[in-house]
């Protein structure tokens, strides 16, 4: 455990995990877990591995008493390593031991531990009578973060985001109390953890409403590998016209991915063969270089994404240096044709200093837009589409040129929009360089979140570089 005894709070942290050395790793230990994003080095004071709510509460108590900041980690996929605190010296509560799972046969409400990975959740629900919830396509992501940030995925247009499935949550607060947040008790806590939990507490368990898993779907892919920037822009215009149609069926999920190799439109249609054929998707993209359609009858096979596949191939499934930005689009901020032309001309002409870059446009809307903006902390209920851009360096830090390329993508789009157009950023796609990040992430819900923060975490125990801050009482 290195020089652990010299660390303030060493004894009470050990006591919190029942003096079990397998449940804690101090700074200097070989067991300190590697970073997810090597571009943002962070070294926590300690990583703890509790297996009960009471142990989590005692860790929080000890950390707060000794002046440490605390952050939970579920799957460890934080882009800015906020699961390790985001800055040096935090106490990390790793939830990997919280794997409880059950489902009520009468209500079909599932109870899950916050350390469950998405791939395990999908399998466990499917095995428990063919049930499912909406969530993202990366199986290594942890539910603790995913269900408390947003959680967008292929079924979100029909079922809402992952966090929209949360009926109740067990939460450890900054004063080390353990509360059950529901629509009838601790409502402010439930509001806050459904979109901004890292600022307010540690969720150890969720109760989720579930759906019958789909038994039929059609997975499609259209690829363009050649062509000028104008040709690629025209593909995007066709796709944007299709997905921005407010009458578009919610059974249709889609994403458009731009890479060095070309453009890919892919997704899933959750319906019958007759419905899919009547949709006539191929008529929207008649000039593709190649296309495929797969018939799927198993829910486990439907949770996939070409974008996630490309990212896995580029990074090789190992920690690397990368940078990412995001941008939401509403029906008021659809990219105009001239903006699309400028975007693809910029993409073709701008030096990137890496071949491992991606731009992903995800269709959302549908059920995600049915929930009022102020019902949960998640503030982008009017978005019908998200852009997420990546630059990856397998050999070292991401260069300034690569980061400027991503910033330029956003700038080109914003210049094409009408004055006063409102944008933001997805809190799960952390951008550590973004100014005024809290407003970008939580928008009009930020004032309420700041007030809740003052009430339940006035000393800012649950802190990362872009977490919600305590609202001052001063006018």
Structure confidence at residue 2 (pLDDT): 45
Using the structure block, give the residue that is written with the tokens 């079990």: 20
CATH no. for residue 386? 3.40.462.20
Residue where a domain terminates, one of 60, 94, 128: 94
CATH number at residue 155: 3.30.465.10
In three-state secondary structure terms, 353 is coil
* Separation between Cα atoms, residue 272 and residue 284, nearest integer Å: 20
The pLDDT of residue 5 is 58
The length of the chain, given as a count of residues? 475
Residues in Cβ contact with 401 at an 8 Å cutoff, skipping those fewer than 6 apart: 351, 352, 353
pTM of the model: 0.93
* Of 421, 422, 456, 455, nearest in space to 439 by CA: 422
76 band by pLDDT with thresholds 50, 70 and 90: confident
pLDDT in tens, 294-312: 998 888 887 765 555 555 5
CA 88 to CA 34: how far, in whole Å? Answer: 14
pLDDT at 427 over 60: yes
DSSP state for residue 471 in the 8-state scheme: P
5 to 8, 9, 28, 58, 89: CA distances (angstroms)? 8, 9, 12, 18, 15
347 and 422 part of one domain = yes
Q: 175 with 198, same domain? A: yes
- 362 with 386: CB under 8 angstroms? yes
Strands (DSSP E) along 19-165, which ranges? 24-26, 46-48, 70-73, 91-94, 101-103, 109-113, 131-132
- pLDDT at position 304 is 63
Q: Is the pLDDT of residue 3 over 80?
A: no
The mean of the pLDDT values for the chain is 92
Residue 31 pLDDT grade (very low, low, confident, very high; cuts 50, 70, 90): confident
Confidence class of residue 420 from pLDDT cuts 50, 70 and 90?
confident
Any residues with CB less than 8 A from the CB of 471 and at least 6 apart, and which? 447, 450, 451, 453, 454
Whether the per-residue pLDDT at 369 is higher than 60: the answer is: yes
Residue 404 lies in a domain: yes
Q: Model confidence at 1, in pLDDT bands (50, 70, 90)?
A: very low
The verdict on 108 and 176 lying in the same domain is yes
Confidence category of residue 322, pLDDT binned at 50, 70, 90 = very high
Q: How confident is the model at residue 475 (pLDDT cuts 50, 70, 90)?
A: very low
**Locate tokens 């039929």: which residue?**
216
Which range, of 77-86, 148-157, 336-345, 350-359, averages the lowest pLDDT? 77-86
Structure-block tokens of residue 155: 């079924």
Give the pLDDT score at 401: 97
Q: What percent of the chain has a predicted confidence (pLDDT) above 70?
A: 95
Provide the pLDDT confidence category of residue 264 given band limits of 50, 70 and 90.
very high
Same domain, 63 and 192: no
pLDDT at 465 over 90: yes
Q: Once rounded to an integer, what is the mean pLDDT over residues 121-129? A: 95
Q: What is the rounded distance in angstroms from the CA atom of residue 336 to the CA atom of residue 413? A: 9
Secondary structure letter of residue 399 according to DSSP: P
Q: CATH code at 77?
A: 3.30.43.10
Contact between residue 199 and residue 468 where contact means Cβ atoms under 8 Å apart:
yes
The 3-state secondary structure of 142-204, one letter per residue: EHHHHHHHCCCCCCHHHHCCHHHHEEEEEEECCCCCEEEECCCCCHHHHHHHHHHHHHCCEEE
CB contact at 8 A, 154 and 168: no
Three-state DSSP class for 383? Answer: coil
**Residue 463: inside a domain, yes or no?**
no
- 35-53 residue pLDDT tens: 889 999 999 999 999 999 9
* Same domain assignment for residues 25 and 38: yes
Which pLDDT score, from 0 to 100, does residue 154 have? 93
CA dist 469 and 458 (Å) reads 9
Whether 376 has a pLDDT exceeding 90, the answer reads yes
Residue where one domain finishes, among candidates 41, 66, 94: 94
What pLDDT, in 10s, does the model give residues 205-252? 999 999 999 999 999 999 999 788 999 999 999 999 999 998 999 999
Does residue 316 sit within a domain?
yes
Whether residues 226 and 311 share a domain: the answer is yes
Q: Are residues 235 and 254 in the same domain?
A: yes
Asked if residue 469 belongs to a domain, the reply is no
Which H/E stretch holds residue 255? Answer: strand 252-259
Domain that holds residue 209: 101-213
Residue 385 above 70 pLDDT?
yes
Distance (Å, rounded) from C-alpha 5 to C-alpha 9? 9
Q: How far apart are CA 149 and CA 253, in angstroms?
A: 21
Residue 442 contacts residue 194 (beta carbons within 8 Å): no
pLDDT of residue 297: 86
Chain centroid offset of residue 448 CA: 22
Torsion 70-74-78-84 (CA) sign: positive
Beta-strand runs (E) in 334-447 = 357-363, 385-393
Q: Do 359 and 221 sit in the same domain of this protein?
A: yes
pLDDT (tens digit, 9 = 90+) per residue, 178-211? Answer: 999 999 999 999 999 999 999 999 999 999 999 9
The residue from 175, 198, 213 where one domain ends is: 213
Read off the pLDDT of each residue in 73-87 and give the average, rounded to a whole number. 90
Check residue 317 and give its pLDDT: 58
Residues 209, 149 share a domain: yes
Same domain assignment for residues 227 and 182: no
Q: Which residue has the tokens 């008790």?
A: 185
Instruction: List C-alpha distances in Å: 117 to 56, 112, 124.
Output: 19, 10, 11
Secondary structure (3-state) at 61 = helix
List, in sequence order, every residue forming a beta bridge with 388; answer none if it has no partner: 326, 360
* Residue found under tokens 């000028």: 228
């Amino acid at each position: 455990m290195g020089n652990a005894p010299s660390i303030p709070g060493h004894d009470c942290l050990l006591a919190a995990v029942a003096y079990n050395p397998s449940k804690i790793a101090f700074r200097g230990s070989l067991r300190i877990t590697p970073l997810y994003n090597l571009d943002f080095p962070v070294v926590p004071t300690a990583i703890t591995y509790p297996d009960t709510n009471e142990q989590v509460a005692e860790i929080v108590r000890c950390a707060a008493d000794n002046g440490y900041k605390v952050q939970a980690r579920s799957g460890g996929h934080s882009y800015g390593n906020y699961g390790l605190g985001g800055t040096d010296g935090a106490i990390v509560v790793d939830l990997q031991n919280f794997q409880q799972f059950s489902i009520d046969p009468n209500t079909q409400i599932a109870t899950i531990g916050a350390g469950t990975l998405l791939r395990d959740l999908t399998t466990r629900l499917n095995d428990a009578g063919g049930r499912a919830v909406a969530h993202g396509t990366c199986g290594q992501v942890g539910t603790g973060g995913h269900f408390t940030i947003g959680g967008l995925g292929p079924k979100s247009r029909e079922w809402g985001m992952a966090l929209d499935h949360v009926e109740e949550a067990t939460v450890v607060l900054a004063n080390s109390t353990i509360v059950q947040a529901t629509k009838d008790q601790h409502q402010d806590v439930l509001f806050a953890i459904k979109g901004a939990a890292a600022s307010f507490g540690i969720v150890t368990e969720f109760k989720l409403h579930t759906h019958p898993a789909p038994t039929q779907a059609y997975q499609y892919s259209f690829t363009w590998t050649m062509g000028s920037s104008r040709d690629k822009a025209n593909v995007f215009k066709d796709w944007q016209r299709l997905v921005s149609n407010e009458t578009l069926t919610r059974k249709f999920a889609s994403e458009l991915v731009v890479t060095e190799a070309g453009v890919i439109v892919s997704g899933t249609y959750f319906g019958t063969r007759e419905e899919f054929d009547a949709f006539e998707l191929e008529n929207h993209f008649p000039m593709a270089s190649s296309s495929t359609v797969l018939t799927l009858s198993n829910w486990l096979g439907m949770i996939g994404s070409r974008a996630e596949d490309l990212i896995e191939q580029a990074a090789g499934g190992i920690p690397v240096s990368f940078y990412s930005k995001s941008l939401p689009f509403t029906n008021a901020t659809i990219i105009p044709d001239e903006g699309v032309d400028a975007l693809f001309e910029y993409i073709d002409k701008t030096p990137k200093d890496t071949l491992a870059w991606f731009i992903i446009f995800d269709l959302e809307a549908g059920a995600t837009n049915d929930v009022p903006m102020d019902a949960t902390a998640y503030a982008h209920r009017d978005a019908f589409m998200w852009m997420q851009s990546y630059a990856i360096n397998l050999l070292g830090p991401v260069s300034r040129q690569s980061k400027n390329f991503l910033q330029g993508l956003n700038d080109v789009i914003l210049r094409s929009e009408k004055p006063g157009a409102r944008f933001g950023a997805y809190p799960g796609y952390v951008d550590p360089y973004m100014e005024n990040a809290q407003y970008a992430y939580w928008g009009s819900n930020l004032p309420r979140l700041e007030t809740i923060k003052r009430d339940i975490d006035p000393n800012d125990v649950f802190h990362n570089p872009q977490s919600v801050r305590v609202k001052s009482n001063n006018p």
